[in-house]
Structure 1
Amino acid sequence: MELLGYIGAALIGVSLGLLGGGGSILSVPLFVYFFALPPTQATSYSLFVVGVASAVGFAKAWKAGNIHLSSGVLFAIPSFLGVLFIRRFLMPYIPENMNLLSWNVSKEFLVMTSFALVMLTASLSMLRPRKNTALVEKTAPLSFALQAFLVGSVTGFVGAGGGFLIVPALVVLGGLTMKHAVGTSLGVIAVNSLLGFASDVAVNTAVDFSFLLLVTSIAVGGIFVGSYLGKRTSEAQLKPAFGVFVLILGTGIFAQQLTKL
């Protein structure tokens, strides 16, 4: 199982380099199902792995000219505030077991089910036809910032970098091309993820750094493979592929969680 886990770590990087997201979609299940970590710890580890890999991918995208810096900054600041709010002021106070709509559910179930539902919603947004760019450009900065805050809040709760939400937001609200949205999202993901991880460490989350750095180095290697493939893939192919990828994984995780009820 651990060998499959390390292969999955490489796929995290490939996904980030190719799609600008999806790495955390792989990393949380990776740590939960292949390395047998509890979901809360898995979300924290996921933030570090995806954050470092995304930073490397962002540097490559910057060099290639696939960055829209103003949109990235406008998105990153309120997005991080959402991450910080959830990781510091909500997650530590959720009980390990609770009664929800007459069902006894665990914190693990709540996190993983929320994770799956977010994936399904994001996949549908990517599979829908893109809105007219002229309309997109009229999106008010306040609305854009609010969307970013909500994405950051979801990122903080499910421990995902949020690329599967950031890329659609940059495409639909920011009017960016898919490849510019992918490159820009990597910078936002890196900031959100690494600061979210630092917030966890600040509240004394135990971290096995030797294991974490090994998984991270494998994921970083995958970034280069994903970036290479991305140069040979058109935007028309990337967007639906991203949507289908997220839809399949989200459906599988959601079905698996339902068996626990």
Structure 2
Amino acid sequence: MEIIGYIASVCIGLILGLLGGGGSILSIPILVYLFHMDAVIASAYSLFIVGITSFVGAVPKYKEHLVNIRTGILFGIPSIVSIFITRRWIVPAIPEIILQTSSVVITKRILLLGMFAILMILASASMIRGKRELQKDDDRFRTFLVLIEGILIGFLTGLVGAGGGFLIIPALVLLTGLPFKTAVGTSLFIIAINSLVGFLGDVMNYSMNWSFLLSITVLAIIGILIGNKLSGSISNIKLRKSFGWFVLAMGCWILIKELVL
């Protein structure tokens, strides 16, 4: 299973490079179910892997003038504050046993993986519809909504260890007026900042297996470099739809495994 996990780690970056998001949708299940890691530690490792990989992926996008640094910083500031608070204090404060009755036991693992699976299912819906790329209605920068969106994305990213690319990209297009391709590049920049700041909160709470973490990260970086090269030659709509069905199946499987099996 670990060999499969190392091979699958390349796909973390590949999806990030092709779609501008979705890396954590693969990284957390890989870490939890193929490497048998604790859910909280897996979410911490996911933040580092996705953060570093997204940063590497954002560099060529920046060279192609597809990263709006100003928008990324303005959008990222509330997310950074929110995710650091969540990873540093909120997640460690969640008890291992949240609810226990004679017939039901809800653990921290079930809560975190259950919420992650629900986010996967919600994210899959927009991908499966296979609509054309989002288009901006106007160029207005809706500052208040951007701040609120940033706080919410930061909290969700911190809670489940997901980068939030499929939430960030629509928000950038609809709330800041960025063109879709620029929103994808800027999303990688925001994911990198958010994830690495969130991981900083985890470093203060847990010890890390750096050799393992860096090996997975290197494989994911290889994937995103390949994904960036292929992004111009593969139909984004068809890819999103196919990946959407995969994400839906994976989300349902995680819910069933954690709640039923």
Q: TM-score, with normalisation over the residues of structure 1?
A: 0.90
Report what 1:95 is aligned to.
95
For 1:30, the equivalent position in structure 2 comes to 30
Other structure's SS at 1:133 match? coil
Question: Residue 171 and residue 243 in structure 1: after superposition, are their counterparts in 2 closer, same or farther (change >3 A)?
Answer: farther
Count of matched residue pairs:
258
Aligned-partner residue type, residue 45 of structure 2 = Y
Query: Which residue number corresponds to residue 221 of structure 1?
Result: 222
Deviation at 1:85, TM superposition (A): 1.8
Greater shift, 237-246 or 191-200, is seen at 237-246
Q: Deviations over 1:231-255 (max 9, x none)?
A: 2134544554554443333233223
Q: Is the 8 A contact 1:179 1:235 kept in 2?
A: no
Alignment partner, residue 70 of structure 2:
70
- 1:112 and 1:256 mapped to 2: Cα distance? 10
- Cα 1:20–1:169 change in 2 (3 A) is same
Task: Indicate whether 1:115 and 2:116 are aligned.
Answer: yes
Residues in 2 aligned to 1:170 and 1:71: alpha-carbon distance in whole angstroms: 8
| Residue equivalent to 1:148 | 150
Which consecutive residues of structure 1, in runs of 5 or more, have no partner in the other structure? none
Does structure 1 conserve the Cα–Cα contact (< 8 Å) formed by 2:44 and 2:202? yes
- Alignment partners' CA distance in 1, 2:13 and 2:152: 25
Question: Under a length normalisation based on structure 2, what TM-score does the superposition of the two structures give?
Answer: 0.90
In the alignment, what sits opposite 1:187? 189
Structure 1 residue 123 displacement after superposition: 2.6
CA–CA distance in structure 2, aligned partners of residues 242 and 172 of structure 1 = 23
Contact 1:122–1:168, Cα closer than 8 Å, also in 2: no
Call closer, same or farther: CA 1:10–1:44 in 2, change over 3 Å: same
The answer as to whether partners of 1:126 and 1:168 remain within 8 angstroms in 2 is no
Q: Summarize the alignment of residues 250-261 of structure 1 with structure 2, pairs less than 5 Å apart.
A: 250-260=251-261
Q: Shift of residue 79 of structure 1?
A: 1.0
Structure-to-structure mapping, 1:46-65, within 5 angstroms? 46-65=46-65
Partner of 1:105: 106
SS of alignment partner, residue 95 of structure 1:
coil
Q: Cα RMSD (Å) of the superposition? A: 2.2
**Deviation, structure 1 residue 98:** 1.8
Give the Cα separation in 1 of the matches to 2:156 and 2:247: 16
* 1:179-204 Cα shifts (integer Å, max 9, x gaps): 2222111111111111111111122x
Q: CA 1:140 to 1:95, structure 2 compared with 1: closer, same or farther past 3 Å? A: same
Moved more, 236-245 or 151-160: 236-245
- Which range moves more in the overlay, 146-155 or 63-72? 63-72
Aligned residues: percent identity? 44
Query: Once the 2 structures are TM-superposed, how far is the Cα of residue 169 of structure 1 from its aligned partner?
Result: 1.9
The letter for the 1-side match of 2:11 is L
The equivalent residue for 2:248 is 247
CA distance in 2, matches of 1:132, 1:47: 29
Q: Is the 8 A contact 1:98 1:107 kept in 2?
A: yes
Unmatched segments (≥5 aa) in structure 2: none
| Contact 2:96–2:107 under 8 Å retained in 1 | yes
Contact 1:119–1:164 (8 Å) recurs in 2: no
Indicate the residue corresponding to 2:211 in structure 1: 210
Q: 1:150: how far off? A: 0.1
